[in-house]
């Protein structure tokens, strides 16, 4: 990187061992991708300068924007290239979150820096009595990071993923051009970037849809021992008008904790009751989680909730309730720090697998994957999420891909391994699941995808692959951005 010493940004390019080490690993902690330098930008002009300089070289170096470092397979890495520490922008310039209202068409919205964390956006918008409508379970992620993937959670069935709730963006393309884009201007870039895995540009600003925020949340978990009833009830809840505001499902096994890092919902007596049931059934239990938002003055929320629950087929006596503030519900998954920020996290690995499963095959998936592979390995260490999403809430013009069915389920197999060889065992589980789906013709799609061949990437994007390639050549023809995804930089 000696050729960059003449650049005006050279003082913000760091090659010291600590900077390199911190940006060589991510939350997955599954390997190292060592960059040559780390840029800590003081403004977006520093990023433009870096990308423009790379473009002007006969052999360009690669560049990866890194937010909170919570990718798990090195997706925000740049081996031998430059990692851009996006959070440096917030450290230098503070929280770039501006709340506005357009009385004509846009309604309430917030303009936020791509480096901003969702927790900070929640805090800033709540000061105005407002909030974004779609959330991930974990809020200590950056806007640029979630919009590059999709951004899914329990509100997704109603409002769509976070990428469906963006009105406008500023993006620095792989050619070093700063472009404002929306559905109406530079729309090709707009749709390419949303769910585009960082391949086309660096998001520096996003305009996010807001609505008036509720004050409280009635939070309920229901326990099932019948998969068919569990999925039928979830699908019922996401289909009705004036239903819940949040729906997620999860699995409880003989060897998994009812409480985990996602939340400490259950009291000790509740945990004991569920634990006893899971051992008596000697199999999986399924937990359906729903939330109904309300305001302090809405006195009949319990009546509304009672009518919802009356229609459901959970195990009698296994309904558990909480009443919490809206903020406490959304922030229920506490900060786990920046990637590799603590000694404990340096010894943890997270070989996660996230899949979208078509509704037509969920019964086969339950039998082959949930009841067989996952239960047989008896290794689960972390939450297992399983809940439905609605395809029409996703815009097919975006780069993100889903199964070609009206309803599909998301599986989040969120392993945590503590021993050096455990992650390999979890990877074996993941590979066996993918092999089962392949052999059984279950057309799953990976969310937060990681593939080992160009052929697999082409299969992943399916009919979108040709357009995805075309957009890459238009906005990043020298293949500079996000090499860690190994879509176009597979030789790295």
Three-class DSSP category at 129: coil
Angle subtended at Cα 393 by Cα 388 and Cα 469, rounded to the nearest 5 degrees: 105
| Strand 63-66 relative to strand 82-85, pairing | parallel
Is 450 annotated in the active site? Answer: no
What CA–CA distance (Å, rounded) separates 160 from 166?
11
What CA–CA distance (Å, rounded) separates 452 from 132?
35
What CA–CA distance (Å, rounded) separates 2 from 12?
14
Three-class DSSP category at 113: strand
Is 18 annotated in the active site? Answer: no
Determine contact, residues 36/15, Cβ cutoff 8 Å.
Answer: yes
Annotated catalytic residue within 14, 33, 70, 233: 70
Query: How many Cβ atoms from other residues are within 10 Å of residue 145's Cβ?
Result: 26
Residue 491: CB partners within 8 Å, gap ≥ 6? none
Residue 325: CB partners within 8 Å, gap ≥ 6? 215, 216, 217
Rounded to 5 degrees, φ, ψ at 276 are: -65, -40
Is 3 annotated in the active site? Answer: no
What CA–CA distance (Å, rounded) separates 210 from 187?
22
Cα dihedral 432→436→439→440 (10° resolution): 180
Token pair for residue 197? 């895995």
What CA–CA distance (Å, rounded) separates 165 from 211?
11
Angle subtended at Cα 320 by Cα 318 and Cα 326, rounded to the nearest 5 degrees: 155
Determine contact, residues 416/350, Cβ cutoff 8 Å.
Answer: yes
For CA atoms 207, 212, 217, 222, the dihedral sign is negative
Annotated catalytic residue within 33, 85, 115, 137: 137
Determine contact, residues 73/450, Cβ cutoff 8 Å.
Answer: yes
Residue 291 CA neighbour count, 13 Å, CB half: 29
Annotated catalytic residue within 248, 289, 345, 348: 248
What CA–CA distance (Å, rounded) separates 272 from 32?
41
What CA–CA distance (Å, rounded) separates 347 from 372?
29
Q: Which residues are catalytic?
A: 70, 137, 248
């Amino acid at each position: 990187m000696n050729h960059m010493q003449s650049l005006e940004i050279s003082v913000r390019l760091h090659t010291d061992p600590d900077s390199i080490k911190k940006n060589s690993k991510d939350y997955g902690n599954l390997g190292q991708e060592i960059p040559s330098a780390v840029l800590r930008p003081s403004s977006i002009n520093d990023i433009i300068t870096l990308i423009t300089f790379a473009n002007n070289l006969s052999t360009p170096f690669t560049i990866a924007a890194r937010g909170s470092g919570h990718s798990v397979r090195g997706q925000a890495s740049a081996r031998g290239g430059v990692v851009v520490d996006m959070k440096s922008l917030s450290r230098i310039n503070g929280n770039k979150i501006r709340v506005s209202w357009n009385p004509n068409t846009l309604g309430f919205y917030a303009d936020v820096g791509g480096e901003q964390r969702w927790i900070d956006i929640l805090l800033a918008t709540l000061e105005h009595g407002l909030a974004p409508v779609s959330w991930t379970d974990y809020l200590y992620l950056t806007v640029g990071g979630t919009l590059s993937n999709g951004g899914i959670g329990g509100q997704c069935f109603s409002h769509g993923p976070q990428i469906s709730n963006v009105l406008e963006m500023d993006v620095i393309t792989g050619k070093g051009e700063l472009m404002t884009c929306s559905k109406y201007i530079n729309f090709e870039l707009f749709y390419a970037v949303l769910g585009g895995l960082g391949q086309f540009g660096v998001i520096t600003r996003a305009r996010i849809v807001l609505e008036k925020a509720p004050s409280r949340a009635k939070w309920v978990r229901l326990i099932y021992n019948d998969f068919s009833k569990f999925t039928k009830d979830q699908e019922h809840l996401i289909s009705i008008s004036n239903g819940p505001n949040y729906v997620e499902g999860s699995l409880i096994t003989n060897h998994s904790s009812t409480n985990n890092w996602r939340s400490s919902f259950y009291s000790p007596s509740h945990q004991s009751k569920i634990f006893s049931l899971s051992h008596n059934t000697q199999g999986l239990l399924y937990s359906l989680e729903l939330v109904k938002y309300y305001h302090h003055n809405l006195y009949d929320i319990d009546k509304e909730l009672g009518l919802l629950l009356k229609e459901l087929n959970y195990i009698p006596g296994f309904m558990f309730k909480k009443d919490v503030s809206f903020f406490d519900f959304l922030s229920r998954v506490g900060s786990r720090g920046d990637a590799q920020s603590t000694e404990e996290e340096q010894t943890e690995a997270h070989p996660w697998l996230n899949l979208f499963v078509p509704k037509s095959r969920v019964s086969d998936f339950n039998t082959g994957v949930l009841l067989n592979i996952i239960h047989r390995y008896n290794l689960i260490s972390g939450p297992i999420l399983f809940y439905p999403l609605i395809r029409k809430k996703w815009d097919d013009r975006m780069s993100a891909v889903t199964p070609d069915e009206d309803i599909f389920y998301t599986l989040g197999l969120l392993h945590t391994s503590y021993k050096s060889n455990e992650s390999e065992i979890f990877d074996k589980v993941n590979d066996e699941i993918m092999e089962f789906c392949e052999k059984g013709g279950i057309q799953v799609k990976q969310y937060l995808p990681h593939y080992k061949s160009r052929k697999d990437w082409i299969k992943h994007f399916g009919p979108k692959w040709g357009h995805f390639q075309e957009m890459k050549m238009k906005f990043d023809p020298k293949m500079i951005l996000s090499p860690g995804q190994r879509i176009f930089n597979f030789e790295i």
